[in-house]
Chains A and B, each alone.
Chain A
Amino acid sequence: MKILFKMAALAIVTISVSAPRSAAAAAAAAENLVRGIIGPVGSNTSWSGYSAVSKIPGAGLIPVTSETTVFYLGFTAGTRADIKNMVLYTTARGGSTITAVTPVKLGGVSDPSIDLASPSVCPVVEISTYNPCIVRLDPTSITLSALNDYYLVVYFTSGDSNNESVGVTQPIFSQTSLTGSDQAADDSRLTVRDAIPNLSYSSASFLLMYVMTD
C-alpha cells in the first residue's frame, strides 16, 4: 500500500512539475499586440468637441493571442480630461463598413472624467512631453483578429473648459503600426453598417499609445 501511495505522490509531483507554468506566467505579463508609439512625443492641445480616431490595423498584429485587449492613452498637458464616449469599431481588413461596435471603458464607464492632476492617475504630477501620463483603460473583451481592422474613437466633451487645456501625445517618430486622425465632431455614435469616419490615417495616432494584452 505504501508503494501505491508513493507512486501516486510521484505521479502528482510529476504532473505538477510538467504543467505549463511558464505559459501561465507569460500570460499574466502584458505583451504588445501591435507596435505602439515609440520615442519622444510632442503635444497636441485643445480637444473640446473633438474625436481622436486611431486605427489598429489587423495587418500589424503581432502573433500573440489574447482574449482581452487593453488600450493605453497618453496625455501631455491639462488637469482633467472629460470624455463623452469611447468605442471600438471593427471593419473588414482594408474595409470601411463597420461590422461591430464595442464599448470601451475606464473605471467601468465609457464617459470617464480623468483626473490628470492625481498622483494615482499620473505618478509624475506635472505631466509634459518629457513625462507623458499613460492611462490604462479597462480591458476590452475582444480578441483582435488579423482579418479585421479596428478603430478606437475617443470623443472629448464639447464646450468643456477642462478639455480646452488637455494635451495628448503627438508622436515624433513614425515607426508605429498605429495611425490616426482627429475631427471636430462626435465620431463615437456610429453603428453597424455605417462607414468609418473618412479621415486620413496616414500619420501616427494622437492619444492612443499602446495596444496590449493586459
Chain B
Amino acid sequence: MNTVKGLAKLTLQLAALAASSFAATWTAAATLVNVTEGQGNATSSSNPSWDGLSELVLIPGASLLGPSSSATAIYLGFTGGSIVNVGNMVLYATPRNGSTVVGVTKVTLGASQSPSIDLASKSVCAVTPSPTSPCIVRLDTVNLALSPLKDYYFAIYFTLDTNNQSIAGMGQSAARGALSGFNLYGDQTRVGVDGALPTFENSDAAPFFVAYVANE
C-alpha cells in the first residue's frame, strides 16, 4: 500500500511538473518577440504621393533572430493622412538573395487584403498620426514561420485615389534595423510563383511603412 501511495505521489508530482512546463511554454509564446530588427525611430521624411504606388519591403532571412515563430505579424507605421486605401497586400518568398518568387502569402487587416484604414478613428490611432506620434497598425497575423533560408518581401499597393495622396509613412529612418524598402509605380502585388520580383531599386534605404516584424 505504501508503494502504491508513493507511486501516486510521484505521478502527481510529475504531472504538476509537466503542467508547470507547459505553462512556462505558453507564457513564453504569449510574449511579443521581434522576428528581425525593426525601425528604431520615425522620421517621416521624403514621402512621395502614395496614390498608385507600391512599397516592397525586404525582410531578409539572414537577419532573422533566434528560433522561428509559427506566426508573423507585420506592423505599419503612419505619420500622416486620414484614410489609407490599400489595394492589396502580399508576402513574397524568394531564395536567399534571389529574385524569383517561390511563395506568395496573402496578408490581411480585418481579414481583408484591401482594407481601408481610418487613421482618424481613435480606435485605430489613439492620437493623430505625426512624426512624433506615429500610428502603428498591426496587420493580421500571418500563419507563416519565416525561415532563415529564404528572403521575404512584403508588398503593399495603395490605390489611385485622393486619400492616398496625403498619407505618410514613418520611414525612412536612419535606425532602420534589418529592413530595406523601395517604392514603385503600379500594383506590384500580383507577381505569381516562379515570377520575378520587380527590379530592385538598390536603394538600400529604410522602408516607409513597415515598422516592425514580430511573432504576434
A-side residues, CB < 8 A to B, are 3-4, 7-8, 10-11, 14-15, 17-18, 22, 26, 29-32, 35-41, 62-64, 74, 130-132, 134, 169, 172-176, 209-210, 212
Contact = CB atoms under 8 A, between A and B. Distances in A.
Contact of B178 (A130, A132, A175, A210): A175
B100 A176 contact: no
Nearest to B176: A175
B14 A175 contact: no
Contact of A32 (B17, B64, B99): B64
B148 A209 contact: no
A64 B99 CA distance: 29
Interface in B115-170: 148-149, 151
B185 interface: no
12 contacts: A7-B7, A8-B7, A30-B149, A36-B62, A37-B62, A38-B180, A63-B66, A74-B97, A130-B98, A131-B98, A132-B97, A175-B176
Contacts of A30: 148-149
Given A15-B14, A175-B178, A4 B63 contact: no
B178 A37 contact: no
B149 A131 contact: no
Contacts of B30: none
Most buried by B among A32, A74, A210: A32
Contacts of A17: 18
Contacts of A38: 58, 60, 62-63, 97, 151, 178, 180
Nearest to A8: B7
Given A11-B10, A132-B98, A172 B68 contact: no
B193 interface: no
Nearest to A22: B25
A37 B97 contact: yes
Q: Report the 3 A-B pairs with minimum CB-CB distance, sorted nearest first.
A: A36-B62, A18-B18, A38-B60
Contacts of B11: 7, 10-11, 14
Contacts of B68: 29
Interface string B1-26: 00110011011001101100110010
